[in-house]
Amino acid sequence: MATVRLSFSPAPVHVRTARLVGVAVARRAGVREDLLDEVRLAIGEACTRAVALHRQYGLPDPVLVEMSDGAAYAVRVVDRAPIEASIGLTALPPDELANESLTDEALTTGVGFALLAGFVEDLQVRPVDEGIGTEVRMVWPVGR
Amino acid sequence: MELSLATHTVGEHTVLSVGGEVDVYTAPRLRERLLELIDGGAHRIVVDLGRVDFLDSTGLGVLVGALKRLRSIGGTFALVCDKEPLLKIFRITALDQVFPLHATVDAAVDADPTGAGA
């Protein structure tokens, strides 16, 4: 099993780098070509969420992305925001999406979670084992 | 690929052609451009996503923001998109039920009941 770790300052400009690395490692791990767009989008959404949480809480700590290939391709995106920030991760129904009272942040969060849940069959959002923070864990099959 | 933005008019409609990647880093530029257009008097806007190769939740949020802003002032907003990967994003988020989505700019302009086409 090979592991690639990337940690980056919580700035939007680095999310693209995380996407590119995540897809490159996925391709090398043997994830099917037709799944790579979904891998790219899901890693981007998980990192965008982590960056937003770090900025919301003024946390300078880096966001960690860990990619492992083995029997499957597993990606962990770890933030260091308080756990309660993760509560409320729910997809929004269509009639609420364009609701005037919905804030831009709530909309983006809801849409981001809908994308994660929609594109990743094997998705877990859980507290990190040690310290403060949440881990978004995504797994894709490899074709070997 | 970096974000690209280009504007032209078709009849009474302003068409904003977007290319490249619309993500958490580039979406603020798309938001600024849409606000400039709306504040400058463009109230019938069609956003052509034909050359977009990546679109995330932040970009979708910007598009919903423009839709709401135009709706509040009696304007119209439509999207042009015929790429299956992008259409899947709209379906999964249920935003296909929020935005008028068309395969071509002409179809988007013709479908707008409030404005004459080209």
Give me the domains of chain A, ranges plus CATH numbers.
2-141 (3.30.565.10)
Residue B118: band (very low, low, confident or very high) from pLDDT cuts 50, 70, 90: very low
The pLDDT value recorded for residue B30 is 98
Q: Choose, out of B31, B34, B57, B86, the residue to mutate when testing the contact with A (most A CBs < 10 Å).
A: B57
The pLDDT value recorded for residue A107 is 84
- In the numeric block, the tokens 């949440």 are attached to A134
> Is B12 an interface residue toward A (CB < 8 Å)?
no
How far is residue A51's CA from residue A59's CA, in Å, rounded to a whole number?
Answer: 9
Nearest to B25 among A15, A45, A94 (CB): A15
Please judge whether B92 and A45 are an interchain contact, meaning their C-beta atoms are less than 8 angstroms apart.
no
ipTM here: 0.90
Going from N- to C-terminal start, the domains of chain B cover 4-111
Residue A132 and residue A81 in contact, taking contact as beta carbons nearer than 8 Å: yes
* B101: exposed, middle or buried (Cβ count in 10 Å: 0-12, 13-18, 19+): buried
Q: Which residues of B touch A108 (CB under 8 A)?
A: 57-58, 60-61
Q: Would the pLDDT of A124 be above 80? A: yes
Q: Would the pLDDT of B116 be above 60? A: no
Nearest to A13 among B25, B54, B72 (CB): B25
Q: Please state the separation of Cα B91 from the chain's center in Å.
A: 16
CATH architecture of B4-111: 2-Layer Sandwich (3.30)
Residue A82 and residue A132 in contact, taking contact as beta carbons nearer than 8 Å: yes
H helix or E strand, kind and range, residue A138: strand A134-141
